[in-house]
């Protein structure tokens, strides 16, 4: 049985172009993403606030 969103740990995603880190726990409030916003809930139209690339240019970050 899969863990609910509230039970699974937050993850971080890194922009492969500029290295910007999106942390699900912190969100990106300055870009309209509240703390706790899961990566799959980030709109496809969202772009990296540092370099402007799309979600497709982010990878799961295990840092």
Predicted pLDDT of residue 59: 98
Residue 28 is labelled as binding a ligand:
no
Contact between 12 and 21 (Cβ < 8 Å): yes
The mean pLDDT of 3-21, rounded to a whole number, is 89
Q: What CA–CA distance (Å, rounded) separates 63 from 41? A: 22
CATH number (domain holding residue 39): 2.20.28.10
Q: How many domains does the chain have?
A: 1
Give me the domain span that covers residue 47: 12-61
- The string of pLDDT tens digits covering residues 35-61 is 999 999 999 999 999 999 999 999 999
Residue 63 is labelled as binding a ligand:
no
Residue 9 is labelled as binding a ligand:
no
Let me know if residue 31 belongs to a domain.
yes
Residue 34 is labelled as binding a ligand:
no
- Tell if the pTM clears 0.75, that is, is over it: yes
Write down the residue that tokens 């980030």 correspond to. Answer: 42
Chain centroid, CA 6 distance in Å: 16
Residue 55: strand, helix, or coil: helix
The mean pLDDT of 21-48, rounded to a whole number, is 97
On the question of pLDDT at 28 being above 80, the answer is yes
Predicted pLDDT of residue 4: 60
């Amino acid at each position: 049985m899969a863990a609910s969103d509230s039970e699974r740990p937050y993850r971080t995603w890194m922009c492969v172009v500029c290295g910007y880190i999106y942390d699900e726990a912190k969100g990106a409030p300055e870009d309209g993403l509240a703390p706790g916003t899961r990566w799959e809930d980030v709109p496809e139209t969202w772009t990296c606030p540092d370099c402007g690339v799309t979600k497709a240019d982010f990878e799961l970050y295990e840092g």
